[in-house]
């Protein structure tokens, strides 16, 4: 880490203002000083979208004092994106997999071509280095391509923020771990397998704290976590919150890989298989940035109390 120059105005650009992007913008705005300017990159169509949801998001952005830039990261070329990014010192990508295959590489190439001083790629998830290439979730290989691009150069500093799974996704019925209708909790791998989860709101606040930290983080992976727990502990959490016992079952790695072989395009099955393997999907809370700096986070049980029907 090296000291940040606080005398020069830092121009920060956030790519995207979905759930995570808006949380990052809020986190940055809450810590902003006169030496920081914050902008967000949105599609032109989103800026002029008359839907209630889009207009609410735009009002929220405006209330934060954030400047809006426009470009379509899917349609624009690397050169076109670089022309936008080159006006900023720090670029934080909150554009996820939904933007399509190749987007993570394209944005990284644009940031490097632009020569931005610091780039925070969209790696808000698992430890892709530990998972490695060829995992059941083939999208993850592109995340390793991004790391390779960043590590192969020295002109642009980079910071990767590993967050684990979104807390809400762990409880999402479609994910197949917590099923309140069936009264069941399904462990991926085993009941001793661990998973790290963090809420988007905490990711936003902690990302801002990491980006604005002095001395600054340079060319490294920073870990954060709202909670790290086993699937057995998750079952206990669900039972305490809903006030009744749940059925517990194990979805083993081999079973999940067999299911995936029969339904090779099922994205949720890909995720389940990766998390069942238990490698690179959980880390000790004590090693996290938030624990070391005693920053508050939402634990899984607190999230469940606020969002699940209590018994």
Name the least confident of 7-11, 92-96, 190-194, 283-287.
Answer: 7-11
Within a domain: 181 = no
25 vs 43: CA distance, rounded Å: 16
- Paired tokens of 127: 């430890």
Q: Which residues pair with 196 in a beta bridge?
A: 228
For 133-143, give one letter per residue: b (16+ CB within 10 A) or e.
eebbbeebebb
Q: Which residue has the higher pLDDT, 44 or 273?
A: 273
Q: In the prediction, which pLDDT does 153 show? A: 97
Q: In the prediction, which pLDDT does 57 show? A: 84
pLDDT band at 4 (very low <50, low <70, confident <90, very high): very low
The answer on pLDDT for 54 being more than 90 is no
Q: Which residue has the higher pLDDT, 4 or 95?
A: 95
The answer on pLDDT for 179 being more than 90 is yes
Within a domain: 308 = no
Residue 76: which residues within 8 A CB-CB, separation 6 or more?
Answer: none
- Per DSSP, 6 falls in state T
Q: State the burial class of residue 302 (Cβ atoms within 10 Å of its Cβ: 0-12, 13-18, 19+).
A: middle
Q: In the prediction, which pLDDT does 299 show? A: 98
Q: In the prediction, which pLDDT does 7 show? A: 55
Within a domain: 263 = no
Within a domain: 178 = no
Mean of all residue pLDDT scores within the chain: 94
Q: Please give the backbone phi and psi of residue 222, each rounded to the nearest 5 degrees, phi first.
A: -115, 130
282 vs 235: CA distance, rounded Å: 17
Q: How many helices (H) and strands (E) does the chain have?
A: 14, 13
Q: In the prediction, which pLDDT does 311 show? A: 64
Q: What is the DSSP string of 69-117?
A: EE--TTTS-HHHHHHHHTT-SEEEE---GGG-TTHHHHHHHHHHHHT-S
Q: In the prediction, which pLDDT does 148 show? A: 98
Q: In the prediction, which pLDDT does 8 show? A: 66
13 vs 67: CA distance, rounded Å: 9
Within a domain: 268 = no
Q: Are 31 and 212 in contact, with CB atoms under 8 Å apart?
A: yes
CATH number at residue 31: 3.40.50.720
The answer on pLDDT for 39 being more than 60 is yes
Looking up tokens 């902003």, which residue turns up? 32
191-236: per-residue pLDDT in tens? 999 999 999 999 999 999 999 999 999 999 999 999 999 999 999 9
Domain that holds residue 203: 10-164+198-226+283-297
139 vs 309: CA distance, rounded Å: 34
Q: Angle of helix 267-277 relative to helix 253-262, nearest 10 degrees?
A: 160
Q: In the prediction, which pLDDT does 64 show? A: 94
| Number of domains the chain contains | 1
The answer on pLDDT for 92 being more than 90 is yes
Within a domain: 242 = no
Within a domain: 231 = no
pLDDT band at 6 (very low <50, low <70, confident <90, very high): very low
Residue 44: which residues within 8 A CB-CB, separation 6 or more?
Answer: 70, 71, 72
The answer on pLDDT for 24 being more than 50 is yes
Within a domain: 37 = yes
254-287: per-residue pLDDT in tens? 999 999 999 999 999 999 999 999 999 999 999 9
5 vs 274: CA distance, rounded Å: 41
Q: Percentage of residues in the chain with pLDDT exceeding 70?
A: 97
- Paired tokens of 212: 């604005």
Looking up tokens 């081999």, which residue turns up? 254
């Amino acid at each position: 880490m090296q000291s940040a120059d606080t005398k020069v105005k830092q121009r920060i650009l956030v790519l995207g203002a979905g759930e995570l992007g808006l949380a990052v913008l809020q986190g940055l705005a809450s810590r902003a000083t006169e030496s920081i300017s914050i902008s967000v990159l949105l599609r032109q169509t989103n800026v002029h979208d008359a839907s209630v949801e889009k207009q609410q998001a735009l009002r929220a952005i405006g209330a934060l004092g954030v400047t809006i830039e426009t470009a379509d990261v899917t349609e624009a070329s690397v050169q076109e994106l670089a022309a936008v990014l080159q006006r900023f010192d720090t670029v934080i990508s909150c554009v996820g997999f939904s933007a399509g295959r190749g987007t993570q590489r394209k944005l990284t190439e644009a940031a490097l071509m632009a020569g931005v001083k610091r780039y925070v790629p969209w790696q808000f998830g698992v430890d892709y280095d530990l998972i490695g290439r060829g995992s059941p979730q083939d999208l993850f290989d592109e995340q390793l391509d991004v790391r390779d691009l960043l590590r192969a150069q020295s002109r642009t500093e980079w910071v990767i923020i590993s967050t684990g799974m979104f807390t809400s996704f762990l409880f999402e019925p479609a994910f197949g771990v917590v099923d309140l209708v069936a009264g069941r909790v399904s462990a991926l791998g085993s009941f001793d397998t661990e998973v790290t989860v963090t809420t988007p709101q905490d990711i936003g606040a902690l990302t801002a704290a990491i980006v604005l930290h002095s001395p600054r983080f340079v060319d490294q992976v920073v870990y954060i976590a709202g909670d790290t727990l086993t699937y057995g502990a998750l079952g206990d959490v669900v039972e305490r919150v809903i006030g009744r016992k749940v059925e517990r079952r194990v979805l083993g790695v081999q079973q999940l890989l067999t299911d995936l072989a029969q339904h090779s395009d099922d994205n949720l099955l890909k995720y389940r298989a990766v998390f069942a393997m238990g490698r690179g999907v959980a880390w000790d809370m004590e090693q996290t940035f938030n624990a070391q700096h005693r920053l508050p986070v939402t634990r899984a049980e607190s999230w469940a109390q606020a969002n699940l029907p209590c018994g």
